[in-house]
């Protein structure tokens, strides 16, 4: 069984469909050929039942053995450390990976996400 488990919602409205941020984690795993499982959280109960995992009741959420992580960027960095294709081991490649992850979250996301967010 895969150690990595990506948690997402079991349903979303039409607008954000295909854009839910679990895509980022799935993409990284697929890119590196890392096996993963997917668990789904009921959309309707997310604001209460999911808080034990994610303080804002949101997805994605990642578990890796005993490690539990929220925030897609933190999850991505954790996944990235598992494979050199995602995060080179040399100091320059490593720093550039961090740079691009932070740029994606801090500069690109705010101009690319659906207005009103999800
Ligand atoms: N900064 C967070 C944002 C998480 C987020 O906005 N998740 C959305 C799906 S893409 C969500 O769970 N929306 C449901 C809600 O907020 O109730 C991250 O990158 O993980």
Q: In a 3-state reduction of DSSP, which class is residue 42?
A: coil
Give per-residue pLDDT as tens, 1-16. Answer: 579 999 999 999 998 8
Say if 89 falls within a structural domain. Answer: yes
Is 117 domain-assigned? Answer: no
Give the pTM.
0.93
For residue 46, what pLDDT band results from cuts at 50, 70 and 90?
confident
* Per-residue model confidence (pLDDT) at position 52: 86
Q: How far does residue 20's CA lie from ligand 1's centre (Å)? A: 7
Establish if 13 belongs to a structural domain: yes
Provide the domain count of the chain: 1
Each residue's pLDDT tens digit, 55-100: 999 999 999 999 999 999 999 999 999 999 999 999 999 999 999 9
* Domain presence at residue 8: yes
**By residue range, what is the domain housing residue 108?**
4-112
In-domain check, residue 107? yes
The alpha carbon of 60 and the centre of ligand 1 are apart by a number of angstroms equal to: 7
pLDDT band at 118 (very low <50, low <70, confident <90, very high): low
- List beta partners, residue 8: 40
- Torsion from C-alpha of 45, 48, 53, 55, nearest 10 degrees: 130
Is position 58 within any domain? yes
What is the C-alpha to C-alpha distance for residues 51 and 16, in angstroms, rounded to an integer?
Answer: 21
Q: Is 71 in the pocket of ligand 1 (CB under 6 A)?
A: yes
**What value does the mean pLDDT take over residues 17-31?**
96
118, part of any domain: no
pLDDT of 66: 95
Task: Name the band, by pLDDT with cuts 50, 70 and 90, for residue 34.
Answer: very high
- Of the candidates 78, 103, 66, 91, the residue with the CA atom closest to the CA atom of residue 28: 78
| Residue 73: strand, helix, or coil | helix
In a domain, 28, yes or no: yes
Tokens of 27: 């993409």
Output the domain CATH number for residue 30.
3.40.30.10
For residue 116, what pLDDT is reported? 62
Dihedral-angle region of residue 83 (phi above 0 means left; psi in -120 to 50 means alpha; beta otherwise)? beta
The Å distance, Cα 90 to ligand 1 centre, comes to 32
């Amino acid at each position: 069984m895969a150690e990595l488990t990506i948690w997402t919602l079991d349903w979303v409205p039409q607008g954000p469909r295909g854009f839910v941020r679990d895509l980022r984690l799935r993409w990284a795993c697929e890119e590196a050929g890392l096996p993963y499982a997917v668990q789904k959280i009921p959309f309707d109960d997310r604001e209460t039942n999911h808080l034990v995992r994610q303080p804002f009741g949101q997805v994605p959420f990642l578990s890796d053995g005993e490690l539990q992580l929220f925030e897609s960027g933190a999850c991505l960095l954790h996944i990235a450390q598992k494979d050199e294709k995602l995060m080179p081991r040399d100091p320059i490649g490593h720093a550039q990976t961090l740079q691009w992850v932070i740029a994606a979250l801090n500069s690109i996301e705010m101009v690319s996400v659906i207005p009103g967010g999800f």
